[in-house]
Amino acid sequence: MISAYILITMTPGKTDKAIKEMRQLDNVAKISIIAGEYDIVIRAQVKNLEELLTVTDKIQMIEGVTKTTTQIIEKEISLQ
Amino acid sequence: MIIRKKYLFYVLAITSSFIAAAVTGVDSFVGSQPAFKYDPWAFAFALFFIGTLITLLITLSLSIKIKGKSLGAKILDPSFKQLRLVQKSEMKYHLIAGLMNAINTVGYCAIISIVQDPSVILSFSQIVILYLLLMESITEKDVPTLVEIQSSVIVTFGAILASISLTGEFQLFPIFIVFLVVNPTWAVFSIYQRKLKIMKIHNKPNDSINIRFWNVFFSCLFTALLLFIYDLFTSGNHLITGFVTSIDPSYFLLLVLTMGTTFFSYVLYIRSLGMGKASVNNAIRASTIIFAIPFSIILLQLGTITEFSTDPVMLIIKIIGMVLIVMGIISFALTVVKSYIFITVKPGSPIRDTMQKLWDIRGVSHVSVTSGKYDFIVKVSTRTLMKGYERIIRKLDEIPEIKKYHWDSVLKDWEKI
C-alpha cells in the first residue's frame, strides 16, 4: 500500500463544492482544509503508482483546483 | 464514507457511554441478586467467566465474512478481520490491562453490592479523569494543557455534583475503594487499552474487537488467580461459588445480558481511545451519569431498585452537575488546533535522526518522510496556537538539519471510516 499527501491550491470561492467532489473519490483517506500556502491537503491510499496517478488526475479535473503537489510517504511514525 | 473524524470520536465515546449506563443498570440488578449481593468476588468471577464465553461467541459471529469483509468490520470496527491470537508485541499490554481490569471489577462489584442506585455508584469514579491527566503527562508525549486541565476539572466537579447520593447517604468505605482501587486501576487499564489500539499489527491498525476479547480473557484468568489466592488464605470459596452461580440457569442469562451488552460498550470505547487521549475519552464518558438517570427511573418502575429520591434541591444540584459535564465536553471538543508543518532539510542531513528529533517534540502526532518538494510532513495537535508556538516552533528552530519550514493550520477535516 502506498500513502501520499496531495497538496492542493484552489481558486477562491470554489473550495466547498470541490470538497464535496473530493469526498466521493475512492482511495481518499483524509481531507483537510488548511490555511497557509496550500488550501487543501488530501491523504490518499493506493495500491500502486498507477492508482495514485488516477487519483491525482481526478483531483486535477475538479473545478477550482489550480495546482497539485504530490508527496509520496516513504516512512512514517504516528500515534494512530 | 468520509466523515469528520471529530464527530466520529464523539459519536463513539457517547454511544459507548449510553450503553455503559444501560449496563450499569443491569449490573446493579444482577449484583443485588441474593447469590451475589454478599459475595462481590464471586460476582466478579461470574461476570468474567460468562463474559469470556459470550465475548468469544460474539467475536466468532463477527468474524463471519460477508462479501469478503467480516461482519465486525462492517458494523463495529473497520480494522477487524477475524478472531486472532495475541501477538508477542501485544502480550505485555494485554497482561497489564487484564490485571487492572480484574482488580477494577472486583472493586466495582464490592461497591455495587453496597450501593444500589447506578447514578450514585458512578459518581465517585469520575475523578479518574484527573488521575489520567496526571498519568498521561508521565506516560504519553503529550502533557495536558491548561484548557485540558480546566475542562477536566469542570467535568469532574460536574460529575461529582450530578451523582451526589440522592438519599444523602455518604458512605466512606465505597469512597476508599474508588480512590484506592477503582480509579488507579481504571486509569492504567485505559492507558494500556489505548496503547493496544494505536499499535500496528502486521502494519495494519489493531482492532478493538480482538482487544476486547483478549482483555476479557486475561481479566478472567487474573480474577480466578486473585480469588484462588484469596480463598487459600481465608479458607473461603468465592471462586467455586462464582463458577457454580454463573452456570445456574437463573443467573446465566442475566450474566449473558450484562456481558453481551458490555462488549459493545467497550468495543466502541476502545475505538474512541484510538482517536483521542484517555483523559478526554473518560471526560466524555462522564455523560454516562446523565444517561444512567432514565435507566435508574426504569429500574425503579420495574421495582428492581428501591431508592430514588426526587428531593427538588438534590435534583437541582444534579442538573447543575450535568450542565457542567456537557460544558466541559464541549470545551474539549472546541479547543483542538491541528496543523501541518511542511519541512525541507539541508542536503546530507541524516533522515532517520531528524525524523526521531521531530517525533520527540510534544504535540507531534504524525511524522512522514516524503519524496517531492518537502522532506517531511509533520502533523501536530495542540490546544492553543500559542502552545503550538511555544512547544513546537521553538523546538523546530533547535533542529540544525532543518533548512526551511512552513506551518499551515487545519480549519476543518474529514476522514474515511
Last residue of a domain, one of B308, B334, B360: B334
Mean pLDDT calculated for residue range B10-29: 81
Q: Which residues of B fall within a CB distance of 8 Å from A77?
A: 355, 359, 366-367
| pLDDT at residue A19, rounded to an integer | 92
Work out the mean pLDDT of chain A and round it to a whole number: 91
Q: List B370's β-bridge partners, or say none.
A: A73
What distance in Å separates residue A45's CA from the closest CA in chain B?
11
> For residue B167, what pLDDT is reported?
56
* Model confidence pLDDT, tens digit, residues B176-186: 888 888 889 98
B327 plus B355 within the same structural domain: no
Sign of CA dihedral B366, B369, B371, B376: positive
Closest by CA to A7, choosing from A47, A34, A45, A46, is A34
Rounded distance between C-alpha atoms, residue B311 and residue B233, angstroms: 46
**What confidence category does residue B118 fall into, taking pLDDT thresholds of 50, 70 and 90?**
very low
Decide if A80 and B414 are in contact by the 8 Å CB cutoff.
no
Residues of A in contact with B272 (CB under 8 A): none
Q: How many CB pairs under 8 A join A and B?
A: 98
Domain range for B118: 2-334
B289 and B369: one domain? no
Among residues B334, B365, B387, which one ends one of the domains? B334
d(CA B160, CA A15): 45
Q: Is the pLDDT of residue B120 over 70?
A: no
Of B307, B334, B361, which residue constitutes the final position of a domain?
B334
Q: Does B411 touch chain A (CB under 8 A)?
A: yes
- For the domain that residue B386 is a member of, what is the CATH number? 3.30.70.920
pLDDT value of residue B392: 84
What is the number of domains present in chain B?
Answer: 2
pLDDT digits (tens, 9 = 90+) for B67-107: 888 898 888 888 888 899 988 888 999 999 999 999 988 88
Pair B258, B343 in one domain: no
Helix axes B278-285, B5-31, angle to 10 degrees: 60
Other beta carbons less than 10 A from residue B133's beta carbon = 24
Average pLDDT over residues A37-66: 93
- The partner residue sitting opposite A30, judged by closest CB among B274, B369, B416, is B416
**Contact flag B367-A79 (C-beta cutoff 8 Å):** no
Q: Nearest by CB to A79, from B2, B198, B371: name it.
A: B198
User: B297 and B362 share a domain?
Assistant: no
At B1, the pLDDT band (50, 70, 90 cuts) reads low
Average pLDDT in the B6-14 region? 79
Identify the pLDDT of residue A54.
93
Nine-digit cell string for B203: 502494519
Architecture of domain A2-72 in this structure: 2-Layer Sandwich (3.30)
Residues B26 and B106 in one domain: yes
* pLDDT, position B168: 47
Same domain, yes or no: B280 and B405? no
Do B41 and B170 lie in a common domain? yes
Question: What is the residue-wise DSSP string for B218-243?
Answer: HHHHHHHHHHHHHHHHHT--HHHHHH
Ordered DSSP codes for B188-212: HHHHHHHHHHTSEETTEE--HHHHH
Clarify whether residues B29 and B154 are in a common domain.
Answer: yes
pLDDT in tens, B23-75: 877 777 776 777 776 777 788 888 899 999 999 999 999 999 888 888 988 88
Out of B342, B368, B413, closest to residue A31 by CB: B413
pLDDT at B122: 55
B173 or B342: which leads in pLDDT: B342
What pLDDT sits at residue B107?
Answer: 82
User: What does the domain layout of chain A look like in residue ranges?
Assistant: 2-72
Are both B174 and B320 inside the same structural domain? yes
Instruction: For residue A25, list its beta bridge partners.
Output: none
Buried/exposed B10-33: b ≥16 CB within 10 Å, e otherwise? bebbbbbbbbbbbbbbbbbbbbee
CA-closest candidate to residue A79, choices B352, B366, B393: B366
Span B373-391, pLDDT tens digits: 999 999 988 767 777 777 7
Scanning B248-277 for CB atoms below 8 A from A yields: 274-275
Contact A77 B367 (CB under 8 A): yes
C-alpha cell at B227: 480469588
Distance between CA atoms of residues B341 and B335, nearest Å: 19
Question: Mean pLDDT, to the nearest integer, of B264-290?
Answer: 81
Percentage with pLDDT > 90 across chain A: 69
Query: Do both B287 and B371 map to the same domain?
Result: no
One domain for residues B249 and B285: yes
Any chain A CB within 8 A of the CB of B407?
Answer: yes
Give, in order, the Cα–Cα distances in Å from B382 to each of A41, B132, B274, B409.
19, 18, 17, 11
What confidence score (pLDDT) does residue B63 get? 92
The pLDDT tens digits of the residues spanning B287-322 come to 777 787 777 777 777 766 655 556 777 778 878 887
pLDDT of B204-219, one tens digit each?
Answer: 778 899 999 999 999 9
Q: Is the dihedral of CA B61, B67, B73, B74 positive or negative?
A: negative
Q: Which residues of A touch B (CB under 8 A)?
A: 3-5, 7, 19, 23, 28-38, 41, 69-80
pTM of the complete model: 0.72
Residues of A in contact with B277 (CB under 8 A): none
ipTM computed for the complex = 0.93
Averaged pLDDT of chain B: 81
